Amino acid sequence: MKHYCCLEHVELALDIIVDECETAPMMKALLNEEQLSTTCEFCDKPAIYLVTN
């Protein structure tokens, strides 16, 4: 499971991973090239983090 998210929604993505997977989530900052084409899954802002289990 993975979620791309903006700064505003990073806590929501972390909570979803913990609730659904019951494991500690991993958070990675996206590279500039990745940020250009990726939007937040919870809004239309550019994603700056990838949150995974």
Give residue-wise pLDDT tens across range 13-39.
999 999 999 999 999 999 888 777 889
Sorted by where each begins, the domain ranges of the chain are: 2-52
At 35 the pLDDT is 78
Query: Does residue 40 register a pLDDT over 80?
Result: yes
At 37 the pLDDT is 83
Entry pTM: 0.87
Neighbours of 42 (CB within 10 A): 17
Residue 52 half-sphere exposure, CB side, CA atoms within 13 Å? 5
Closest-CA residue to 51 (of 21, 37, 36, 32): 21
Per-residue pLDDT, averaged over 40-44, amounts to 95
